[in-house]
C-alpha cells in the first residue's frame, strides 16, 4: 500500500493530472469561454445561501419555473444564466468528451447542489472546486454594492471588494493547477461581467427614514462621484488580475420597480422620478468611466451595457413585448403593486409568469431577463457599446 506520504504524493499527482486533462478539454472545446460573474441579486445564483443574511432567495416560490429554489431572485433564470447558455457550444465545458478516459465526478456532476449543468456555479458552493472553476464562477451576492457599507441592513452580503478578493483566490487556484501562461490565456478569452450599483441607491442612499440625514449632508452629485471613484479602482483591479473582456451593466430604472412605486404613492401610476434621476446621473458618469478605461488600460475591451434603456423601453411598450403587466410583482404579498413585502412562501404568485415584467418587488421575471440578455448578446450600439457580447467574444 505504501507509506502515508507516498499515498499523499500519489493523490496529488492524480489530482494535478485530472486538472491538466480538464484544461485540455477546455482548449479543444469549440468557442466555450469561461464566464466570471460579479454583481448583486440581479445575477446571483446562490452565494447568499451559504452566509447569514436577511437577503436570500433559497425558498419557494423563487425558482418556481427553474424546478426548485436555488438562490436566484427570480422565477427561473437570471440574465447571466441566459447569456452563459449562448456562450456554450458543446454542453458543460466539453469535459464529457474526456469522460471515457478520466473520471471527473469529483469535479463535475450534473445535478449536484447548485452545480446545475450549463450554469456558472456560485463561488461559495462546496462543489465549486477543482476543474469546475475553469468554466467560470459566479461571485454575485444579493444586497451587495460598490460601497462596502451598502446593504448593511441585510447583515451578511458580499460587496464588490470582497467579490474581487474571492476571484483572486480562484485565480490563484487556476494558476496553481494549469500554470500562469495557460491561466492568463483563459482569463484573456473569458467573459467577465459586473452588474452592480442598484443597491448603492435602493439599500443605501434611498433607504426610507434612515438615509434622510445622509441625503441632506451628501448631494446626489457627491454620492455618485464617490461610487464612480470606487468603481474605477475595482474595475482596474479586475483588469490587473487578467480580465480583458468586461461587460459593465448600468443601473436600471429603479424608480419603476414595485417597491419604489409602493413606498412613493404620490407617483400614482407612474415611475418614481427621483430614483430614476439618480440612476441616470450615475449612468452618464459610468459611460464615461467605461470609455476612460478602454483608453487607458492596454488590451482591454470594456462594454457599457445600457440596461436602463432596455428595461425602460420594455416598461413603456410592454404590450408590444407580450406582457400585460409592467408595474406590479408577479410574486406579491402586500402593497398596491406588491412591493411592500419580499417574495416568500406565503406570497401569492401570478398564473402566467411570462406576462409580468417583474417577478417580485425588486427583480425582473425570466421573460424580461430573456429580452435583456438577447439585446446584450446581439443588440446595436444603443443597447451595448462599443460592440455587443457576440462580437466581443468573436473578436
Using CA atoms, how far apart are residues 53 and 142, in angstroms rounded to an integer? 9
Lookup: cell for 343: 417574495
Selected catalytic residue, list 81, 262, 327, 360: 360
| DSSP H helix total and E strand total for the chain | 12, 9
**Active site includes 360?**
yes
Among candidate residues 288, 287, 262, 294, the one with its CA nearest the CA of residue 275: 262
**Active site includes 100?**
no
Using CA atoms, how far apart are residues 13 and 120, in angstroms rounded to an integer? 27
Q: Give me the residues paired with residue 192 across strands.
A: 36, 246
Among candidate residues 61, 1, 214, 234, the one with its CA nearest the CA of residue 139: 234
**What sign results for the dihedral spanned by CA atoms 128, 10, 95, 105?**
negative
Helix axes 366-378, 307-316, angle to 10 degrees: 130
DSSP string of 239-261, one letter each residue: HHTT--EEEEE----GGGSHHHH
Selected catalytic residue, list 76, 81, 363, 366: 363
Q: Give me the residues paired with residue 384 across strands.
A: 305
Going from the C-alpha of 371 to that of each of 142, 301, 344, 389, the distances in angstroms are 22, 23, 25, 14
Lookup: cell for 259: 417597491
Q: Give me the residues paired with residue 364 across strands.
A: 358
Among candidate residues 97, 124, 92, 123, the one with its CA nearest the CA of residue 108: 92
**Active site includes 41?**
yes
**What sign results for the dihedral spanned by CA atoms 384, 390, 391, 394?**
positive
Instruction: Please state the φ and ψ torsions of residue 348, each to the nearest 5 degrees.
Output: -90, 150
Using CA atoms, how far apart are residues 124 and 51, in angstroms rounded to an integer? 9
Going from the C-alpha of 380 to that of each of 305, 321, 367, 389, the distances in angstroms are 11, 18, 20, 10
Q: What is the CA radius of gyration of the chain?
A: 21
Active site residues: 41, 360, 363
Amino acid at each position: 500500500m505504501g507509506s502515508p506520504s507516498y499515498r499523499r504524493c500519489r493523490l496529488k499527482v492524480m489530482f494535478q493530472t485530472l486538472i491538466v486533462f480538464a484544461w485540455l478539454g477546455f482548449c479543444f472545446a469549440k468557442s466555450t469561454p469561461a464566464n466570471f460573474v460579479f454583481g448583486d441579486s440581479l445575477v446571483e445564483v446562490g452565494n447568499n445561501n451559504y452566509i447569514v443574511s436577511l437577503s436570500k432567495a433559497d425558498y419557494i416560490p423563487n425558482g418556481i419555473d427553474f424546478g426548485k429554489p436555488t438562490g436566484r431572485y427570480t422565477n427561473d433564470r437570471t440574465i447571466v444564466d441566459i447569456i452563459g447558455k449562448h456562450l456554450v457550444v458543446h454542453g458543460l465545458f466539453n469535459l464529457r468528451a474526456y469522460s471515457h478516459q478520466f473520471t471527473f465526478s469529483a469535479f463535475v456532476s450534473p445535478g449536484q447542489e447548485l452545480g446545475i449543468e450549463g450554469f456558472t456555479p456560485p463561488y461559495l458552493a462546496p462543489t465549486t472546486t477543482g476543474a469546475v472553476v475553469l468554466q467560470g464562477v459566479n461571485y454575485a451576492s444579493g444586497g451587495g454594492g460598490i460601497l462596502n457599507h451598502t446593504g448593511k441592513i441585510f447583515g451578511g452580503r458580499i460587496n464588490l471588494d470582497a467579490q474581487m478578493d474571492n476571484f483572486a483566490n480562484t485565480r490563484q487556484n487556476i494558476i496553481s493547477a494549469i500554470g500562469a501562461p495557460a491561466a492568463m490565456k483563459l482569463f484573456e478569452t473569458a467573459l467577465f461581467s459586473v452588474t452592480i450599483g442598484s443597491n448603492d441607491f435602493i439599500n443605501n442612499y434611498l433607504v426610507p427614514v434612515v438615509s434622510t440625514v445622509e441625503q441632506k449632508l451628501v448631494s446626489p452629485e457627491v454620492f455618485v462621484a464617490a461610487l464612480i471613484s470606487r468603481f474605477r479602482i475595482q474595475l482596474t483591479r479586475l483588469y490587473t488580475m487578467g480580465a480583458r473582456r468586461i461587460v459593465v451593466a448600468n443601473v436600471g430604472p429603479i424608480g419603476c420597480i414595485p417597491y419604489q412605486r409602493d413606498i412613493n404613492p404620490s407617483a400614482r401610476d407612474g415611475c418614481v422620478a427621483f430614483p430614476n434621476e439618480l440612476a441616470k446621473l450615475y449612468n452618464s458618469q459610468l459611460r464615461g468611466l467605461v470609455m476612460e478605461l478602454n483608453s487607458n488600460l492596454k488590451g482591454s475591451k470594456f462594454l457599457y451595457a445600457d440596461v436602463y434603456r432596455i428595461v425602460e423601453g420594455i416598461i413603456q411598450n410592454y404590450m408590444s413585448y407580450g406582457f400585460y403587466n409592467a408595474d406590479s410583482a408577479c410574486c406579491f404579498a402586500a402593497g398596491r403593486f406588491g412591493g411592500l413585502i419580499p417574495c416568500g412562501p406565503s406570497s401569492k404568485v401570478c398564473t402566467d409568469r411570462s406576462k409580468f415584467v417583474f417577478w417580485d418587488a425588486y427583480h425582473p421575471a425570466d421573460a424580461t431577463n430573456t429580452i435583456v440578455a438577447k439585446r446584450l448578446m446581439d443588440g446595436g450600439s444603443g443597447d451595448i457599446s462599443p460592440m455587443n457580447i457576440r462580437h466581443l467574444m468573436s473578436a
